[in-house]
Each structure stands twice: as C-alpha cells, then as structure tokens.
Amino acid sequence: MIRVRGTGPDLVMIHGWGMHAGAWAALADELSERHTLHLVDLPGHGADGRNAPWTLGGFADEVLNATPVADWLGWSLGGQVALAAAARAPGQVRRLALIGTNPRFVVAPDWPHAMPSRAFDAFRQACVDDGGRILERFIGLQAMGAADPAATLRDLRRMLDGAPEPGHAALVAGLDILETADLRDRLPSLRMPALWIGGTADRVSPAAASQAAAALMPNGRYRPVEDAGHAPFVRHAAAVHALLDVFLAEGRPQELE
C-alpha cells in the first residue's frame, strides 16, 4: 500500500524492518512541502496485510510497479529494497538516500561493519519463538547508544502506534532477507547520486557500513549524524532533513526549488 501526499518532485519512502510508513512522521510534514511523497507500507506491514512475495526482489518490484520515476529514500531494510530497485530499474530511480542501511547486514570475513552472526541468529530465533515481543526488543536495541535513549525509546514506541503490527511470517521473512542479502557487488554499477546517512551511535547498522558502502559507489557520499542511533530521523529530524534537503535539490531547475 502506498499513500501519496505533498507536491513537487516525487520521493518514494520505504520504512525499515517491522515498521510501517508512519515511521517517517518526523520528516514527512517538512518533506511534503517540497516533494510528492509516496509513503510505502511493504506487503505484510502497516495497512498492507497482503501475503505478497516476501523477498527482496519481490519488495522492490512491488514498489517499482506502483511508483513513477522518483528519488528514493530507504531506512534499514527499506534501504536494501531501494538498492535492489535501483539495480533492477536504474532508469526509475533518480537518486538514492539511505539511512541506517547496510548492503550486508551480517558480518563476513571481508565485511566487519555489520551485526555479528551469533547475535543475529539469537535475535532471529527469538523472533521465531516469540514474535509478539520481538518488536519491543528491537526498538530497545535501536535506542541504545543514542544521546537521549529514553526519549528515543518513547518516540520509537509511538512510531509503532496507529497501524497493525506485521504478522509473524512477515517479520521472519524480513529477517531472512537481512541475513542473506549481500548487495555490495551491485554498488559500483549504480551510478545515480547516493547519500548514505549513518548515526554514529547506531548499534544495529554501524555508521562505518554506510561510509564503506558510499565509497563503493561512483557517486556515493557519506554523512554522519552525531550521537544518533539506528533511526536518526526520530530525535535528529532537523539534521537529517537538512542533509536530505540539500541532496534532493541538487541539479534541479531553479523553479523547482
């Protein structure tokens, strides 16, 4: 399901694992003043209860088929969906803005900027055993390391309100994507401008992953958000919006500014 609001150049926005389009509340009001937002609920998440293909390619195709040529903004798993879409249909993705995104979410011998395999396996098993509590555990992990963890936790909990929680199968499928996806080899061929934003206190997807991934892209750049965790746009919305505003305005005719 995709909700459209605002006016101006098109911007597709894709939430992270276990979340929904309401995750963008801290950014959407300001962004909608200068952009037509396409706020995505991935299948099985938020208001979209469909049992559509829960694969990275399936998610990418779902959004590509329902949106025009646009800039894309993805957070975490949503960033992986945006990268997959850019690789499948580069002519449809003008720019990529990626927040808390890791092209490979789990560590590898040549990729230390990721979650240790043992920690990820334990988290996935906890989701399989008790999906009802795993979202609360996950938002607690996102708040860790942030400058104001209590406020961040409160805002993340509020973020989950207002929409149904994703089903257990969708949660497990999302973790399977994060465990197996490795998009690093696609990055050098993606020539569109790309902005990688990383919270320096992110305990889920280290900022070093965003910095290293940006360096693999011909037109990639990395920008940190100091003292922010995995969802820097929650408590550092002004800083994230400022980065996005500059990036999304680049190369546009003056009358669109």
Q: Which of 35, 202, 205, 210 is catalytic?
A: 202
Write down the catalytic residue from 15, 113, 230, 236. Answer: 230
Q: In whole angstroms, what is the distance from residue 148 CA to residue 135 CA?
A: 20
- 230 has binding-site annotation: yes
Among the options 20, 61, 76, 113, which is catalytic?
76
Tokens of 40: 């995505």
* Residue 2 annotated as binding site: no
- To the query of whether residue 32 is one of the catalytic residues in this protein, the response is no
Token couple for 69:
């040529």
Contact status, residue 11 vs residue 95, Cβ threshold 8 Å = no
243 is in an annotated binding site: no
Taking Cα atoms as reference points, which of 181, 232, 178 lies closest to residue 202?
Answer: 232
What is the rounded CA–CA span in Å between residue 95 and residue 107?
Answer: 27
Q: Indicate the length of the chain as a whole number.
A: 257
Is 113 marked active-site? no
Q: Structure tokens of 86?
A: 């850019």
Return the residue matching tokens 């597709």: 12
| CA–CA separation, 136 and 213 (whole Å) | 29
- Residue 113's Cβ-side half-sphere holds a number of Cα atoms within 13 Å equal to 20
Whether 59 has a binding-site annotation, put simply, is: no
Residue 30 class from Cβ within 10 Å (0-12 exposed, 13-18 middle, 19+ buried)?
Answer: middle
Instruction: Note if 76 is an active site residue.
Output: yes
Q: How far apart are the C-alpha atoms of 43 and 49, rounded to whole Å?
A: 6
The answer on whether 56 is annotated among ligand-binding residues is no
76 is in an annotated binding site: yes
| 138 annotated as a binding-site residue | yes
C-beta neighbour count of 11 within 10 angstroms? 25
Q: Which residues contact 43 (CB under 8 A, 6 or more apart)?
A: 50, 51, 52, 53, 54, 58, 59, 62, 170
Q: Which residues are annotated as a binding site?
A: 17, 76-77, 138-142, 230
Show which residues are catalytic.
76, 202, 230
Q: Which residues are annotated as a binding site for substrate?
A: 17, 76-77, 138-142, 230
